[in-house]
Chain A
Amino acid sequence: MTRKLPSLARYAALAVAAVLTLGPVWWTFTTSLRPAAESFSLPPSFFPLSPDFSSYAAVFEQIGVPLLVLNSALVTGVIAVGQMITAAMAGYVFARMEFRGKNALFAIVLSTMMVPAQVTIVPVFMLIRGMGLSDTLLALILPAIPTAFGTFLMRQYFLGLPLELGEAAAIDGASPWRTFSSIYAPLALPGMAIVGVLAFNFHWNEFFRPLIFMISEQNYTLPLGLVTLQGNLGTGSISVVLAGVVLSMVPAVVVFLFGQRYLREGLTAGASK
Chain B
Amino acid sequence: MTTDSRGTLLRWIFLAPTMLGVGLFVLVPIVGSLVLAFFRWDIITSPRFVGLQNFTDLAADSTVAVSFLNTAVFVVVAVAAQLAIAMLLAVLVQSRMPAWLRVFFRSTFFFPLVLSAASVSILMKYLFNESYGVINWALSLVGIPAVPWLTSPQWAMVVVIAVYVWQNFGFSFLLFIGGLAAVPQEVYEAGAIDGATGWRRFRHLTLPLVSPTVLVASVMAIISALQVFDQPYVLTRGGPGDSTRTVVMVIYESAFRELEFGRASAIGLVLMVLIMLVTAAQFRLARRFVFYQ
Contacts and interface: CB of A to CB of B under 8 A. Distances in A.
A157 interface: no
Interface string B88-119: 11001101010000001101111111111111
B166 interface: yes
B241 interface: no
Given A21-B108, A90-B14, A227-B234, 7 more contacts: A108-B22, A119-B30, A122-B32, A142-B25, A212-B252, A227-B122, A264-B110
A253 interface: yes
Contacts of B117: 205, 207
A120 B29 contact: yes
A1 interface: no
Given A116-B275, A124-B25, A127-B29, A245 B122 contact: yes
A201 B127 contact: no
Nearest to B270: A119
B110 A89 contact: no
B5 to A, nearest CB: 10
A148 B11 contact: no
7 closest A-B pairs by CB: A146-B21, A123-B32, A205-B116, A123-B29, A120-B29, A90-B18, A89-B14
B114 A123 contact: no
B50 interface: no
A264 B174 CA distance: 8
B276 A123 contact: no
Given A109-B22, A123-B36, A267-B171, A146 B17 contact: yes
B15 interface: yes
Given A118-B229, A120-B33, A208-B229, A260 B107 contact: yes
Interface in B1-28: 3, 6-8, 10-11, 13-15, 17-22, 24-28
Interface of B: 3, 6-8, 10-11, 13-15, 17-22, 24-30, 32-33, 36, 85, 88-89, 92-93, 95, 97, 104-105, 107-120, 122-127, 132, 134, 137, 166, 171, 174-175, 178, 198, 213, 216-217, 220, 223, 226-227, 229-230, 233-234, 248, 251-252, 255-256, 261, 264-265, 268-269, 271-272, 275-276, 279
A180 B10 contact: yes
Contacts of B264: 122
Interface residues on A, range: 35 or more
Interface stretch (A47-55, A56-64, A92-100, A186-194): A92-100
Most chain B CB within 10 A, of A92, A118, A124, A176, is at A118
A261 to B, nearest CB: 11
21 contacts: A21-B108, A24-B123, A31-B126, A89-B17, A90-B14, A99-B8, A116-B227, A120-B25, A120-B30, A122-B264, A123-B28, A124-B29, A126-B261, A143-B25, A146-B22, A177-B10, A226-B119, A263-B114, A267-B171, A271-B175, A271-B178
